[in-house]
Amino acid sequence: MTSPEWLESWTADDGGARVRTLFAASFGDDGGEVGTWSAPGRVNLIGEHTDYNAGLALPVALPHRTWVALRPRTDDVVRLASAQAPGQTWETRLADVAPGATTGWGAYVAGVAWALREAGHDVPGFDAVVDSCVPFGAGLSSSAALECAVAVALDAVAGLGLADDDAGRAALAGACVRAENEIAGAPTGGMDQAASLRCTAGHALLLDCRPGLTPLESATPVPFDLTAAGLTLLVVDTRAEHALVDGQYARRRASCERAAEVLGVASLRDVAPEDLDDALARLDAEPDAEVLRARVRHVVSEIDRTARFADLVRRGRITEVGPLMNDSHASLRDDYEVSARELDLVVDTALAAGALGARMTGGGFGGSAIALVRSADVDGVVAAVDGAFTEAGLTAPGFLLAPPSEPAR
C-alpha cells in the first residue's frame, strides 16, 4: 500500500525564487525591474452556487498560491510564460484583447489588464511568468489565483494603489471577474476572486453578493480559529477533473435566473426560507418544474445554512457546524446535481472515519471536497479516504491542509 499524497504549499521565498528564475530564463534580464506577487486559491466552507444568486458564501484563502514575476513594458505587448507550459510563450497586444477574441490560458492574464483599462486605468503591456502550487482543475480557484496575482502586480506597476485597502481590493476583484466572464468566457459568480483578494489570515470571509452593497457591507471577516477549537480543515483533491467552461455551470445559472423570473424576483436571494414552499408551488406549471424546484430548493436552503454557519462560528461554536456541511453536500448532490461519485466517496468515508462534517467545495462536477476533522483524527480520516479510493479503483486523491491564509499581495 502506498502512503497518502500530501500537496504542500510553498514558502514565500520558494515561490518568489521559482518565478524569478523562470523569468530570467524566459525573458532575460534587461535591467528593468522585475517584481513578484502572489495570490491564494480558496476553499469555500459553505454557500455553494449562491454567489450568482445574490446570496451568501463563506470562503477561506488557502496557503497554496500562484506566483507571478512581472516587468512592465513601454508598449502594449503582453508576453507570458508558465512553469505549467514549459518552452511555450503566449503573446498578444492589449489593444487586441476583446470578448471572444482571446483564447488560451493567457486570457485569464491579459483579461485582467483589459478589465482594468476598461475601468479607466492606465495599464501598460508587460512580460510575466507564472508558477503555482494551487492544484489545477481541482475546484480550488487556480484561475482566480492567477487573475488576482496579476491584478495586484498590475496595480503596483501602474501605481493604482487599489490593493492598499479593502474597497480597492473589491474593485480589483471586479476587474478579475470581468476578465473571467468576458475574456476567458467562464460565467462564474465572483466568490473566488473576492476570496483571493479579500480574505485574511485566521478568518473566513462572509460574502454577501447582493448587488449594490458597498465593499464594507459585501464582505465581513469572521474569525475562524481552528487551532483553538482543536480542529483541522482537510481538503481532498479527488483528481476527478472539473471544468466550468463546459456548459453545466452555465445551465445551472440559467435555471436559477429562469426560476427567479417566473417567481417575479430579482434573484433567488429574494425568496425567504419561510416562503420556500409557496415559491416551489408556483413553479409547478413550468415544463421542467421538477428541475427548477430542486435548483431553487438548493439555493434558498443553502443561503440559510450559510447564515447559520457564520452565526455559529461567530459565537465560538465551530464544533457544531458539521451537520450544516453535511446538509449542504446532500443538497448539492440531490437537488443541484453537481456532485460526483468521487466527491460523495470522500464525504461518506470522512464522516464514517469521524469527521465532524464534510462536503464538496467549489463548482463541483469533480474537484475537491473538504472535511472538518478533530486534529487528532486527521491521520485516520486521510488513511480511510485514501484506502477507499484504492478499493474503488480510482486515481489516488491529493490531500491539503487549509489553515485560513493571507490574501493576494
Residues annotated as part of the active site: 192
State the minimum distance, in angstroms, from the CB of residue 252 to ligand GLA: 9
CA distance 400 to 359: 15
Interaction of residue 191 with ligand GLA, rule CB under 6 A: yes
Q: Does residue 363 belong to the site contacting ligand GLA (CB under 6 A)?
A: yes
Written as one string, the DSSP assignment of 144-200 is HHHHHHHHHHHHHHTT--GGGSHHHHHHHHHHHHHIIIIIS-----SHHHHHHHH--
Amino acid at 164: D
The single residue among 40, 111, 189, 366 that binds ligand GLA, judged by CB under 6 A, is 189
Give 134 or 381: the residue with its C-beta nearer to ligand GLA: 134
Applying CB under 6 A, which part among 48-56, 198-206, 214-222, 313-321 lies near ligand GLA? 48-56
Q: Shortest approach of ligand GLA to residue 136 CB, angstroms?
A: 14
In 3D space, the residue among 140, 126, 138 whose CA is nearest the CA of residue 37 turns out to be 126
Q: Which is nearer to ligand GLA, 19 or 57 (CB)?
A: 57
**Which among 406, 358, 397, 403 has a CA at the least distance from the CA of 6?**
397
Radius of gyration of the chain (CA): 21
> How many amino acids of this chain bind ligand GLA (CB under 6 A)?
13
Q: Which stretch binds ligand GLA (CB under 6 A): 43-51, 76-84, 153-161, 319-327?
A: 43-51
Nearer to ligand GLA, 48 or 335 (CB): 48
For ligand GLA, the closer of residues 48 and 386 by Cβ is 48
Neighbouring C-alpha atoms within 13 Å toward the C-beta of 114: 27
Nearest to 372 by CA among 394, 340, 404: 404
The 3-state DSSP class for residue 194 equals helix
Min dist. Cβ of residue 60 to ligand GLA (A): 14
Q: What angle do CA 315, 316, 321 make, to 5 degrees?
A: 90
Q: Is 51 in the site for ligand GLA (CB under 6 A)?
A: yes
* End-to-end alpha carbon distance in the chain: 41
267 contributes a contact to ligand GLA by CB under 6 A: no
Q: Is 190 in the site for ligand GLA (CB under 6 A)?
A: yes
Contacts with ligand GLA by CB under 6 A lie at 44, 48-49, 51-52, 188-192, 244, 362-363
